[in-house]
Structure 1
Amino acid sequence: MNRRKHKKLSRRLVDAALVGDMSRVRSALRAGAPAETADPAGSTPLYVASVGGAADIVRVLLAAGARPDTESGIGSEGTPLCGAACWGHTEAVRALLDHGADPNLREDHGTGWAPLAWASKGPYPETMALLVTAGARPRN
């Protein structure tokens, strides 16, 4: 796939994930959009779907090859698990953990907050309990 087509498909996929449009997500993937991609701002489709709580889209992207621990953005976003935990999107958190997301991975290249810290700020007790069950440890 040439560079221009790759960029166009990547944008289509990120935009579809951002608005939670499953049919457009599936269409972009069928057209060849890589699940592990980003838009020009560095946002990944998995991150935007996770922040939006679109657990069904999160599952489709993971099944298509998106990596659960890929950091999104250029310093201002984070990991999909942190994004979902921040807003208490328990089903998106569950989907990410089921696909191997690290419950202790801190964002900002390891210098930021972990998912449990984000969930505790909500507070989102159900999300926190799920993360602790998955092995999340409180930060000292």
Structure 2
Amino acid sequence: MTGRKRKKLTNRLVCAAMLGDTATVRSLLRSGRLDPELPDADGTTALYAASVHGAASTVRVLLRAGARPDTESRGLTDGTPLCGAAAWGHTATVRELLAHGADPDLREDDGTGMSPLRWARQGASGPHPETVAALVAAGAVEEGS
């Protein structure tokens, strides 16, 4: 596959993930020619796009296809999938990421930013008590503790 075609398909994958279009994500990954870890032209990974939009079933498909739960998006949208899901209170997505090995204490921005627990407590649209509870149950601890 040419680099141009790979970029085009990766962009389609990230867009489908953002929309929670699990069938399209599954179809694009089924060919085996796409790496679910590759970011789109803006630096966003499919897993981050699905996580920040609360598409838990799409997150599950991407994780099973080899997307790593702690890979940080870079570019227009920075952050880890768990931080993105926690910030918007997408508890089902948070649980899915944790079940697949996401680090409940991994801070974004290469470890210098906010933690998932802090995002869930203050949130982009929060606080999100149910998401906080899921993170604490998974072993997340307060920053500075």
Is contact 2:43–2:76 with CA below 8 Å preserved after alignment? no
TM-aligned CA deviation for residue 64 of structure 1: 0.2
Partner residue in 1 for 2:134: 130
CA RMSD of aligned residues (A): 1.2
Instruction: Choose between structure 1 and 2: higher helix proportion.
Output: 1
Partner residue in 1 for 2:22: 22
Superposed counterparts of 1:36-115, under 5 Å:
36-74=37-75, 76-115=77-116
The residue identity in structure 2 corresponding to 1:40 is: A
Question: In the aligned structure 1, how far is the partner of 2:20 from the partner of 2:106?
Answer: 25
2:34 aligned with 1:3, yes or no?
no
Question: In the aligned structure 2, how far is the partner of 1:64 from the partner of 1:107?
Answer: 23
Q: Structure 2-normalised TM-score?
A: 0.92
Q: Could you tell me which runs of 5 or more consecutive residues in structure 2 were left unpaired when the two chains were aligned.
A: none
The residue identity in structure 2 corresponding to 1:130 is: A
TM-aligned CA deviation for residue 54 of structure 1: 0.3
2:118 aligned with 1:117, yes or no?
yes
TM-aligned CA deviation for residue 75 of structure 1: 7.1
Q: Could you tell me which runs of 5 or more consecutive residues in structure 1 were left unpaired when the two chains were aligned.
A: none
Q: Which runs of 4+ in 1 moved over 3 A?
A: none
Question: In the aligned structure 2, how far is the partner of 1:30 from the partner of 1:75?
Answer: 28
Question: In the aligned structure 2, how far is the partner of 1:4 from the partner of 1:103?
Answer: 36
TM-aligned CA deviation for residue 38 of structure 1: 0.6
How many residue pairs match? The answer is 140
3-state secondary structure, aligned to 2:109 = helix
Question: Alignment identity in percent?
Answer: 62
Question: In the aligned structure 2, how far is the partner of 1:42 from the partner of 1:100?
Answer: 23
Q: Structure 1-normalised TM-score?
A: 0.95
Question: In the aligned structure 1, how far is the partner of 2:42 from the partner of 2:74?
Answer: 6
Question: In the aligned structure 2, how far is the partner of 1:22 from the partner of 1:135?
Answer: 29
Question: In the aligned structure 1, how far is the partner of 2:38 from the partner of 2:47?
Answer: 9
3-state secondary structure, aligned to 2:24 = helix
Question: In the aligned structure 2, how far is the partner of 1:126 from the partner of 1:19?
Answer: 23
